[in-house]
Amino acid sequence: MDITLTPDTYIPSVDENGNYIDKIPKIKNGLYCSCGARKDKVYETLTKFSTHTKSKIHQKWISNLNNNKANYYVELIKSKELVEQQQKILIKLETQLQTKSLTIDYLTNLLESKNNINNRSVNLLDLDNFENIN
């Protein structure tokens, strides 16, 4: 079995004014850029990625990030609310599952104990105990 290292995903930095800028990190296992210029392209060297950041598509992507900062913030808030709602649903479902599991365990034990009573073997030749049988 071969071990493969996955490339990092490039995330632009933010300057002191809150604008997205390109600040190229160290490239260890390759770097994937989400700008959409070249789908699934992995940049192996700093030089190749630096050249990529100067492309029109990448520059337009950075510009769109900066122009839509408010929209991304709204999306982030909505996503956080959705995650909280899903966590509440998961907790509710987990509680229901535990309750049903306990009910199943109780009913299984009840059924097993009832079967043990009904399957009791009786020695009919032992007449002294015959009167004690229900």
pLDDT tens string 56-74: 999 999 999 999 988 988 9
Question: How confident is residue 125, by pLDDT bands cut at 50, 70 and 90?
Answer: low
- Cβ neighbour number for residue 52 with a 10 Å cutoff: 20
Q: What is the mean pLDDT of residues 101-127?
A: 77
pLDDT tens-place string over residues 7-38: 999 999 999 998 999 999 999 889 999 998 88
Query: pTM higher than 0.85 for the full model?
Result: no
Rounded CA separation 72/63 (Å):
13
Contacts of 72 (CB under 8 A, 6+ apart): 65
Q: Where are the domains of the chain?
A: 1-67, 69-119
